[in-house]
Homo-oligomer: A and B are copies of this chain.
Amino acid sequence: MALADLDAVERQVFGDRGALGLPAPYLLFLGDTTEPGYAKTAFGLRDWARERCVGELALPGATVSTGLPRMTTAQAAAAGAKALLIGVATPGGLIPEAWLSTLHGALLDGLDLVSGMHVRLHSIASLREAAAHLGRRLVDVRDPPADIPIASGRKRSGKRILTVGTDCALGKKYTALAIERGLRARGIIADFRATGQTGIMIAGSGIPIDAVVADFVSGAAEMLSPDAAPNHIDVIEGQGSLYHPAYAPVSLGLLHGSQPDMFIVCHEPGRTHILGHPHYALPSIEEVIALTIACGRLTNPAIRCAGISLNTSKLDDAAAATEIEAAARRLGLPTADPVRGGADFERLLDACAA
Contacts and interface: CB of A to CB of B under 8 A. Distances in A.
A245 B256 contact: yes
A123 interface: yes
How big is chain A's contact interface, by range? 35 or more
Instruction: Please tell me how many copies of the chain the complex holds.
Output: 2
Interface stretch (A35-43, A170-178, A181-189, A246-254): A246-254
A289 interface: no
Contacts of A294: 291, 294
Interface of A: 1-3, 6, 91-93, 118, 120, 123, 149-154, 209-215, 217-219, 242-243, 245-250, 252-253, 256, 274, 277, 279-280, 291, 294-295, 298-299
A257 B294 CA distance: 21
B299 A245 contact: yes
A245 to B, nearest CB: 3
21 contacts: A1-B3, A1-B123, A92-B150, A118-B215, A151-B245, A151-B246, A153-B245, A210-B213, A210-B215, A211-B213, A212-B214, A213-B214, A214-B217, A215-B250, A242-B295, A243-B298, A248-B295, A249-B250, A249-B252, A249-B253, A280-B298
A299 B244 CA distance: 9
Contacts of A209: 214
A172 to B, nearest CB: 16
Given A154-B279, A218-B247, A249-B252, 18 more contacts: A1-B3, A2-B2, A118-B213, A152-B277, A153-B245, A153-B279, A210-B214, A211-B214, A213-B214, A214-B249, A218-B246, A243-B298, A245-B256, A245-B299, A248-B256, A249-B249, A249-B250, A280-B298
